[in-house]
Each structure stands twice: as C-alpha cells, then as structure tokens.
Amino acid sequence: MNKKALSLVLASAVAASVFSGLTLVSADEEPVTISIYQDKYEIDEALKAATEAYTALHPNVTFTVESSSSGDFYTQLKTMFASGQGPDIFSTKGSDDMAIMAEYMEDLSGEAWVEFLSDAAKEAGTIDGKVLGLPISLESYGYVYNKDLFAQAGIEEVPMTISELAEVCKKLEEAGIQPMSSNYADWYQSGMFKFSAVISRQEDPMAFIQALNDGSESLVGNEEVANLAAWIDIDAGNTASPLNTDFNTEVSEFGTGKCAIMLGGSWSQSSLDDIDPNLNLGLFGLPFSDDAAETKIYTSCSPFWSVNNASPAKDAAKDFLNWLAMDEEGQKYLGSEFKLIPGFTHIAVDEEAIGALGVATQECLASGETYGIYSSFFPDGVAESAGNSINKYAAGVIDAEALAQELQADWENASF
C-alpha cells in the first residue's frame, strides 16, 4: 500500500471513530488504574457500568471502585490520605466538608464542564475561588412514604404538622401497619440529617453557624432543638426497634412494605427500586412544629467527586470525569443510570429514571419551597458527635434538656 492510500485509510479510521463517539487508543499507551472511593452506595452498580463503558473506549484504563454505606466513610478517607494511599477519585459533601480535604484536591476550574454547573453546585463545590469537585446530584431528604399503605389506613393527606404526624402514625398502627423505620443504630442519619434540620430551620442558617462558632449563640434554649426532641419522640417511638435499626434495615423494612414511612429522599429511589420497582412512593417534609408552612423538604448539591492532586493517574481521572459530564454516552449515567438529578444545567433529566422521589424533589426546587442542607458547613466532628447525642436521647439515656446541652458541647468541642 502506498503512502497516500495508507493516509486515506488512517484518516477514514479517525473520522469513523470521532463520528461514532469512540476514542482511538494507541497500542503503546501505558496501562492506568483509577481507584474510586465514594459514599453513594446506591449507585455502585451503575458507577461500575460507567467505568466499564469508559474502559471500552480506553482499553489502557481500568478501575477499582469501592462504594461505602458506612458512617465511617470520612474517617477511612482521611486515614487513606494520612497513610499516603489516597484514592485517585474520592467524594465529599462540598463546602466546609470539601475544604477539610482541599489540600489533596486537583484544581478543576479549567475543565470544560465548569461552565455548566448549577448555581448550587458552583457554590458548594468552589473553595477559595477554585472548583474542586464534579457534582453528582442535586439531592433532597425528608420523609419517603408508601402511598398504598397510606390509602390502606384511610390516610388521604400527608401530615404537615407534628400533631398530624402523630395522628397518621396512630392510624397506621390501628390498621396493623408499622408506621416508621428510622435509623438510630448509626450516627450518620442522626448527625447529617436530623441535627442538620435544626440548623436549616434557623432564620439565617449561615449566620447561626457563625454565631455558634464564635460563641454568640447557643443550642441550649433554642426552639428548634426542643422541636427536634419532640419530633424524635414520634419518629423513634413509631419505629419497631430504633436502636437496632441501621440504614440497611431501614431500607429493607420500607422497601418490603413492612412500614409506611422512612427518612430518605431522591437518593433513596435506586435502593428502593432494587427491592421493588413498583412501590408507589411520595415525599414530604419533616413536621417539626404545628405550623404547616414550616414543613418543607431539605435540598442541596451533594456529593462531589474530586481528583487526588498527587495521583499519577490524575490526568486519566480528570478525563473520566470530563467524559461523564461532556460526552453523550457519559451523560446518560449522570442523567439517567445513576437515578439522580445531575448538578448541571446542560444534562437532561430522565424523569422515568429518577422516579417519583426525584420528580417530587424537582417540583419542590422549582417552587422554592425547600430548606437548604448545611451539614457540610459543620465544624469537623460535629455531625458524628451530634448524631451520637441524638441517639442517646432516642434511647432514653438523656432528656431533652440534656440533649440541648450535649449538642452545644458537641459544637464547642469540635475542630475549628
């Protein structure tokens, strides 16, 4: 074959690969392994499918994926970096939580997807003017409920006040239905969601956090802490065995129809679909008071995936994130296969994939009827210690007054 013919063949091959969305990989490219350590266990299978699709385009790149559902995720992540074994891609919740790990993060400000970040993603994923993470989803939490079990108990409306919540639980129990399954075995939900609700419900949450930091405000005597205690009385009191209920038990009991209500959100859709894709699901806020206007779901952009700035595979890791956000095939994972609402403005959301919980979240976001989520702004260690204090209250070890005092001490003893 002459040189001109050879050139035409090569040109045709390149054109074909570009047209089909494939990337030609040179046979002499060095093998690269990208390790991913992330805390959204519910997308583990879909993430592994995404890495396999990327490897099909880049045969020299392989992945190891570890997805954790443990409340010890951040402890383990810090231990990895302290021992010099940090993963190539890792997740954080953004904001102050991201700032704690910022020294290990590659600056991603120059990546092509940055211009398409949603406002919430841009705010939570930017530290000191640098974009340090790719957002995985816009998320919500509140109460997930089984509409069919509500109907079976003759309940026509979701409860919007704490009194109505107590009445709904009574009706469910009278109908022979376990009202709730709520996790008080682990600190994670209690610290990241239940205690966070106290902060979110303040008039100016960020100002309140700053005031707690400088000592000009206290959780002792705060109305929302008292509301939290009253709400836990109902939430834990209507769970079969709250101190023995961990995350997996909670999801299993709800997903198999053993209970009607659990704490969850848009992120719960995938796990529940794995159990029963035909569940008739709805979402409503946590009623902390008798003012219905105060009952809203909680939303934020989280988590973010960051790239280890000391990783020899960081260029390949950045390319994988860029593929997820900018390539048509990669986008289907963020917009559909992960069953999450992407934190980007240019990726279409597959409403069938995100399910009823995702659609409900989108509707609340569109209406503006939401609280923010501020756990990523807590000082280091507060979420865990506060979660343990809340679980002590649920166990009856301390009363409501002591709970407020312990939560205040948890904040004062945190690492600033």
Of 6-15, 215-224, 268-277, where does the model show the most confidence? 215-224
The whole-number pLDDT of residue 416 equals 56
Taking 60 as the threshold, does the pLDDT of residue 271 lie above it?
Answer: yes
Taking 80 as the threshold, does the pLDDT of residue 9 lie above it?
Answer: no
The whole-number pLDDT of residue 415 equals 60
- Cα separation, 273 vs 329, in Å, equals 23
Q: Tally the C-alpha atoms within 13 A of residue 97's C-alpha that lie toward its C-beta.
A: 30
Strands 259-264 and 138-146: antiparallel
Q: What is the CATH number of domain 139-300+357-412?
A: 3.40.190.10
Q: What are phi and psi of 113, to 5 degrees?
A: -80, -10
Convert the pLDDT of each residue in 178-233 to its tens digit: 999 999 999 999 999 999 999 999 999 999 999 999 999 999 999 999 999 999 99
Q: What's the rounded mean pLDDT across residues 55-62?
A: 98
Q: What is the mean pLDDT of the chain?
A: 91
Taking 50 as the threshold, does the pLDDT of residue 8 lie above it?
Answer: no
Q: What are phi and psi of 231, to 5 degrees?
A: -70, -40
- Cα separation, 389 vs 403, in Å, equals 7
Residue 41 tokens read as 């266990």
The whole-number pLDDT of residue 394 equals 98
The whole-number pLDDT of residue 17 equals 36
Q: Using H for helix, E for strand and C for coil, what is the string for the chain?
A: CCHHHHHHHHHHHHHHHHHHCCCCCCCCCCCEEEEEEECCHHHHHHHHHHHHHHHHHCCCEEEEEEECCCCCHHHHHHHHHHCCCCCCEEEECCHHHHHHCHHHECCCCCCHHHHHECHHHHHHCEECCEECCEECCEEEEEEEEEHHHHHHCCCCCCCCCHHHHHHHHHHHHHCCCEEEECCCCCHHHHHHHHHHHHHHCCCCHHHHHHHHHHCCCCCCCCHHHHHHHHHHHHHHHCECCHHHCCHHHHHHHHHCCCEEEEEECHHHHHHHHHHCCCCCEEEECCCCCCCHHHCCEEEEECCEEEEECCCCCHHHHHHHHHHHHHCHHHHHHHHHHCCCECCECCCCCCHHHHHHHHHHHHHHHHHCCEEECCHHHCCECHHHHHHHHHHHHHCCCCCHHHHHHHHHHHHHCCEC
Q: What's the rounded mean pLDDT across residues 385-403?
A: 98
Q: What is the pTM of this model?
A: 0.77
CB contact at 8 A, 262 and 181: yes
Taking 90 as the threshold, does the pLDDT of residue 3 lie above it?
Answer: no
Contacts of 210 (CB under 8 A, 6+ apart): none
> Of 114-128, 158-172, 223-237, 397-411, which gets the smallest average pLDDT?
114-128
List strands edge to edge, sheet with 134-135.
61-67, 32-38, 89-92, 304-307, 134-135
Report the share of the chain in percent with pLDDT over 70: 93
Same fold, 26-138+302-350 and 139-300+357-412: yes
- Cα separation, 389 vs 211, in Å, equals 21
Taking 90 as the threshold, does the pLDDT of residue 142 lie above it?
Answer: yes
Nearest CA to 60 out of 34, 29, 22 is that of 29
CB contact at 8 A, 321 and 133: no
Beta bridge partners of 344: 117
The whole-number pLDDT of residue 177 equals 98
Residue 238 tokens read as 């209507």
Better-scored residue on pLDDT, 416 or 328: 328
> Of 35-49, 77-91, 323-337, 369-383, which gets the smallest average pLDDT?
369-383
CB contact at 8 A, 398 and 392: yes
Domain boundaries, the chain: 26-138+302-350, 139-300+357-412
Report the share of the chain in percent with pLDDT over 90: 82
Taking 70 as the threshold, does the pLDDT of residue 43 lie above it?
Answer: yes
Q: Tally the C-alpha atoms within 13 A of residue 245's C-alpha that lie toward its C-beta.
A: 26
Better-scored residue on pLDDT, 96 or 287: 287
- Cα separation, 406 vs 293, in Å, equals 29
CB contact at 8 A, 195 and 386: yes
Class of domain 26-138+302-350 (CATH, top level): alpha beta
The whole-number pLDDT of residue 153 equals 98
pLDDT band at 1 (very low <50, low <70, confident <90, very high): very low
Neighbours of 305 (CB within 10 A): 23
Taking 50 as the threshold, does the pLDDT of residue 25 lie above it?
Answer: no
